[in-house]
Chains A and B, each alone.
Chain A
Amino acid sequence: MATIPAIEAQGLVKVFGDNRAVDGVDLVVQPGTVYGVLGPNGAGKTTTISMLATLLKPDGGSARVFGHDVAREAATVRSLIGVTGQYASVDETLSATENLVVFGRLLGLSGKQARAKSVELLERFSLTEAAKRPLKKFSGGMRRRLDLAASLIAQPPLIFLDEPTTGLDPRTRAQMWDTIRELVATGSTVLLTTQYLDEADQLADRIAVIDRGRVVAEGTADDLKASVGTASLQLRLADGGDLAVAEARIRNLLGVQPVASAERAWLTVPLQDPERVTDLLVELRDAGIRLAEFGVQKPTLDEVFLAITGHEADRSTAEEAEKEQVPA
């Protein structure tokens, strides 16, 4: 039999006043996969999820979850989904256990089943020790984990995760990634939104890049990266007068054209093979060119955007560009 897509959205539109927050989004998500929706703040990611999760009524278009229309069969759709919002959708004043028990009871579990389920989930998310503490004392990562745990009580076949790792430290982020991978391994379908290209790259089978309420690119992570290019090496010279010499040396050695920025004595070198960095640094030293600073920059969401849309993403995401600077 032909598989029914977990999500099928056609021309979704949501208008807030003059702002077309979502402006004709089409999505098809196959069951058992992770689908990443990538975009900067304000691109319409959360609004899209809210419509798919029956929290907002679409102003145009339609969407089906496992074949059920989100507007006309909202109750059925709600029984098929779990939603983890961008801001922890759990009760601050209650403890972790109390939260899970309340949600479990609401979902029709008996008191005993709900307690058993909460013990199981707290264990799975390493929250057992904190089970009795009120959430006010939880760290951001713990809250997110509890939030996700709450979405899994009914073992919904489709889980929405709205920016599951925004604001988390790298270690907690990695834990969250593992959890999401586990979910998919047990057969769930996950739709997640993110501002980070590497997160979508790590987790998602397919990615939709969304900008100003529209899907501007769709494909696998490899498709997307191919459109962006590779990492680049950033060099700042101690003496700006060396720029021309350095440029020539790099061109001869690597056969690529660096981009120079004269007023800051910066050179940006496209980097296909990380092995060659050593050669390049040795070459520069031999030429007597001293470096003030260097670093490797991976493709950022900004560059994806620039490549795909031809305009820059919002400032807020530019600040989060992953730049690993090492003082020379």
Chain B
Amino acid sequence: MTAVASIAAAQPRNGVTRIVGQSLTMAYRGLLKVRRTPEQLFDVTLQPIIFTVMFAYIFGGAIAGNVQDYLPVLIPGILVQTVVTGSVVTGVQLREDMDKGVFDRFRSLPIARISPLAGALLADTVRYAIATTLTFVVGGIMGYRQVFDHLGWTVAAGLLVIVVAWALSWIFALFGMLARTAGSVQGISFLVLFPLTFLSNAFVQTRTLPEPLKVFAEINPVSHLITAVRTLVNDQQVTGDVWLSLLGAAVVVAVFAPLTVRAYMRRA
């Protein structure tokens, strides 16, 4: 019995540092998985590159007269669209993970039950960072000079997008918990996100839209985030849209984090 006692004593349970440590380990695991299956990163690597190049050359002339003038409008739009869409993956992967045998082991270990969820959310910020960097770099190379000229502002804009995407990933994590299969998470999420990202000011000025769409596009939180990125990078200004985006993110986390954690704990 002494052996039993010493093992139990050697594992002080769940102080905050321990939970953070375990969550970081779970995040590390998430990143290891990405390294093993790099195709998981296509949506945050190839997609921003292809979309940027494609949209710039297809719409540039028609919308802004030329490609150069379109980039300051387009790049923030593509960035937000890519990163926000990328946050869906959190829910899909979490669902896949929970259906696998390895999750049973996590549940049988003396670890904080929240750590697999926290780790997944943490690891995904790396995905957003990759997408953000790539989009800005591609835009910069194509001639979006402001990106490199005011690097500090670009970084700030990038961080803003990452924070918002992280907040949104709580929503999709909840979908992941409630949906029956990983595939349905993807389906539901894109049904919501597709109109939300396109019915915005991502690619065109909202004043060119018919009235009902214009009203929607202007209250669409995605539009506010895009505007915030544009003003940060193009004008080096912190406008109300930045604060509005952060406030929105905070509200989303305040509402969805408890719901997601509760749904997660019930299943985990």
Q: Do A and B actually bind?
A: yes
Which residues of A are interface residues toward B (Cβ below 8 A)? 3-4, 53-55, 66, 75-76, 78-83, 85, 87-95, 98, 102-103, 105-108, 134, 150-151, 154-157, 187
Q: Assess whether B107 is interfacial by the CB under 8 Å rule.
A: yes
B97-105, B157-165, B172-180 - the one binding chain A? B97-105
Of the stretches B7-15, B65-73, B135-143, B207-215, the one at the interface is B7-15
Given contacts A93-B33, A106-B109, contact A4 B1 (CB under 8 A): yes
Contact A55 B11 (CB under 8 A): no
Contacts of B14 in A (CB 8 A): 75
Tell whether, in the assembled complex, residue B7 and residue A79 are in contact, meaning their CB atoms are under 8 Å apart.
yes
Q: Within 8 Å CB of B109, what residues of A?
A: 78, 103, 106-107
Q: Which of A75, A76, A106, A134 contacts B25 (CB 8 A)?
A: A106
- How many residues of B sit at the interface, in one of the four size bands? 20 to 34
Known contacts: A85-B101, A90-B102, A92-B100. The answer to whether A55 contacts B107 by CB under 8 A is yes
Question: How many contacts A-B (CB < 8 Å)?
Answer: 98
5 nearest A-B residue pairs (beta carbon):
A89-B105, A79-B110, A78-B110, A83-B108, A89-B101
Known: A79-B7, A105-B25. A90 touches B36 (CB 8 A): no
Q: Which residues of B contact A87 (CB under 8 A)?
A: 101
- Chain A residue nearest to B22 (CB atoms) is A106
A157 / chain B contacts, CB cutoff of 8 Å: 3-4, 7
Complex contacts, B8 vs chain A, CB 8 Å: 76, 79-80
Complex Cα gap A55–B8 (Å):
19
Smallest distance from the beta carbon of B196 to chain A beta carbons, Å?
A: 31
Chain B 246-268: CB-based contact to A (< 8 A → 1; otherwise 0): 00000000000000000000000
| Assembled-state Cα–Cα distance A150/B104 (Å) | 12
Among residues 10 to 40 in chain B, which have CB atoms less than 8 Å away from a CB atom of chain A? Answer: 10-11, 13-14, 18, 21-22, 25-26, 28-29, 32-33, 36-37
Instruction: Give, as a whole number of angstroms, the nearest-CB distance from B243 to chain A.
Output: 39
Q: Is B111 an interface residue (CB 8 A)?
A: yes
CB pairs A–B below 8 angstroms (11 shown): A76-B8, A78-B109, A83-B108, A85-B104, A87-B101, A93-B33, A105-B25, A106-B115, A107-B109, A108-B10, A155-B7
Bound-state CA distance A87–B104 (Å) is: 10
Contact status A55-B100, CB under 8 Å: no
Question: Of the candidates A3, A66, A89, A187, which one forms a contact with B104 in the assembled complex, judged by CB atoms under 8 Å apart?
Answer: A89
Taking a contact as CB atoms closer than 8 A, the residue among A3, A88, A156 that contacts B7 in the complex is A156
Bound-state Cα–Cα, A93 to B34, Å? 9
Contacts of A79 in B (CB 8 A): 7-8, 11, 13, 110
How far does the alpha carbon of A134 sit from the alpha carbon of B37 in the complex, in Å? Answer: 10
Question: What residue in chain B is nearest A143 (Cβ atoms)?
Answer: B101
Q: CA–CA, A213 to B205, complex, Å?
A: 66
Q: Please name all residues of chain B whose beta carbon is closer than 8 Å to the beta carbon of A91 when the two chains form the complex.
A: 29, 33, 100, 102
Which of B10, B25, B32, B107 is close to A94, meaning CB atoms less than 8 Å apart? B32
Give the CA-CA distance A79 to B11 in the complex, in Å: 8
> Chain B's nearest CB lies how many Å from the CB of A312?
31
B positions within 8 Å CB-CB of A: 1, 3-4, 7-8, 10-11, 13-14, 18, 21-22, 25-26, 28-29, 32-33, 36-37, 100-111, 115
Chain A residues with CB under 8 Å of B102's CB are 89-92
B32 touching A102, Cβ below 8 Å:
yes
Q: Which of A3, A82, A98 contacts B32 (CB 8 A)?
A: A98
Q: How many Å lie between the Cα of A106 and that of B1 in the bound state?
A: 24
Alpha-carbon separation in the docked complex, A194 to B108 (Å): 21
A53 to B18 CA separation, bound complex (whole angstroms):
22
A187 to B18, CA, bound (A): 29
- Report the Cα distance A85→B115, complex, angstroms: 21
Contact present for B108 and A81 (CB under 8 Å): yes
A93-B36, A102-B32, A157-B3 known; A78+B101 contact, CB < 8 A: no
Complex Cα distance, B28 from A91, in Å, reads 13
B101 near A90: Cβ-Cβ < 8 Å: yes
Quick check: A85 and B105 within 8 Å, CB to CB? yes
Which residues on the A side are within 8 Å of B21 (C-beta)? 105, 108
Contact (Cβ within 8 A) B3 A55: no
Cα distance, A192 to B30, chains bound together (Å): 31
Question: How far, in angstroms, from A81 to B33 measured CA to CA in the complex?
Answer: 27
Q: Is the CB of B108 within 8 A of A75?
A: no
In the bound complex, CA of A187 to CA of B3 (Å)? 10
Contact for A55 among B1, B25, B104, CB less than 8 A: B104
Give chain B nearest CB distance to A205 CB in angstroms: 19
Residues of chain B within 8 A of A151, CB atoms compared: 105
Extra 18 A-B pairs, beta carbons < 8 Å, given A54-B108, A55-B104, A154-B7: A78-B110, A79-B11, A79-B110, A81-B108, A88-B101, A89-B104, A89-B105, A94-B29, A98-B32, A103-B109, A105-B25, A106-B22, A106-B25, A107-B110, A108-B10, A108-B18, A134-B36, A154-B11
